[in-house]
Amino acid sequence: MRKGTIFEKSRLPLQKWFAAAWLTASRRKGIPSTQLAREIGVT
């Protein structure tokens, strides 16, 4: 499913990538990386 995409070698599930993209795009001024990590549950 991820083969041939930019996500191919990522260890994160696609759900986390899409959640991060949505959170970033849905905020007018963006989101700090530390808050983004907390909200999607990654370190």
Per-residue model confidence (pLDDT) at position 10: 93
- For the cut 80, the answer to whether the pLDDT of residue 37 exceeds it is yes
Q: What is the pTM of this model?
A: 0.80
What pLDDT, in 10s, does the model give residues 2-36? 899 999 999 999 999 999 999 999 999 989 999 99
Helix axes 14-26, 33-40, angle to 10 degrees: 130
Tell whether the model's pLDDT for residue 42 goes beyond 90: yes
Please tell me the predicted confidence (pLDDT) of residue 1: 75
In this prediction, residue 5 carries a pLDDT of 93
